[in-house]
Amino acid sequence: MPSPRPALELLARLGYAARGVVNLLIGILALIGAFGAGGGQATGSKGALQELLLHPFGSVMLGAVALGLFGFALWRCFQSLLDADNRGREAKALVIRGGQLVSAFAYVSLGIFAVSLLIGAAARSEDGQSARDWTRWLLAQPAGEVLVALCGAVVAAVGVVMLYLAWSCVFTRHLRCPGDAARWVVPLGRIGFAARGVVFMLIGGFIIFAAWQSDASEVRGLGGALIALQQQPFGRVLFGLVALGLALFGAFEFAEARYRRIDAPG
């Protein structure tokens, strides 16, 4: 019986490429907003998928991205449940593997949204609306403010971890790059993780503020977090730098699709 490993590896690599498309679009749209006449035009993953559909051959590209998103979700399940990265069962490893399982559900949801766009069953999604809906539901529960604040703290902590990855280059242990490729792949990863770290910390801060105010409308998605960044001193420059970092992270994901070490379990 043929081994399923080549197919699983192909799906995982397609998944990294699909993530690359989404993050590259997010970064490019934000860069256009940062330096365009209107300014402030930024969106999240769902907005990027909607934008993709507007271009020539958009349906074909969106279909390929949807397949990749499901493939990436499957790979995340292997990483989490079957320890495909050989992290072990220490407390730190279990936390990482738990986060990978959460990521799997998130990418399944994004893949379903992509499919619904293809078949015309999805309404236009406002940036951060899903997060606000979940926040509103949590706030209605007993100790809802505490639960929301904890969620915000977790999201902000993910941002801190990404900044650590950018500083430490720990992510390189999962890459199989020849020396000439590593000279450009590693800087892409460092800049990309740093930009994502900033964004996750901002989103986490908005969630914590929503808990403090008991108001789900204070929650911001990725696009809203970038626009809030733009409103700070030197915000236009900061907005542009983070937008560039997100676009470079998309490019790094294409490199991961090529060079990531993928040991798909049988």
Question: In this predicted model, what pLDDT tens digit does every residue of 233-250 receive, in sequence order?
Answer: 777 788 888 889 999 999
User: Above 60 in pLDDT, residue 170?
Assistant: yes
Q: Of all residues in the chain, what percent carry a pLDDT higher than 70?
A: 91
Mean pLDDT computed over 191-198 = 94
Res 259: pLDDT: 92
Residue labelled with tokens 């593997």 = 97
CB half-sphere exposure, 8, CA atoms < 13 A: 17
Residue 119 has φ and ψ, to the nearest 5°, of -95, 5
User: Cα separation of 6 and 254, whole Å?
Assistant: 19
The domain locations on the chain are 5-259
User: Above 60 in pLDDT, residue 2?
Assistant: no
User: Above 70 in pLDDT, residue 45?
Assistant: yes
User: Above 80 in pLDDT, residue 263?
Assistant: no
Write the DSSP symbol of residue 141.
Answer: S
Res 84: pLDDT: 84
Q: Are 8 and 72 in contact (CB under 8 A)?
A: no
Write the DSSP symbol of residue 231.
Answer: T
Res 123: pLDDT: 62
Res 154: pLDDT: 93
Q: What is the pLDDT of residues 150-169, one digit of tens each?
A: 999 999 999 999 999 999 99
Res 4: pLDDT: 67
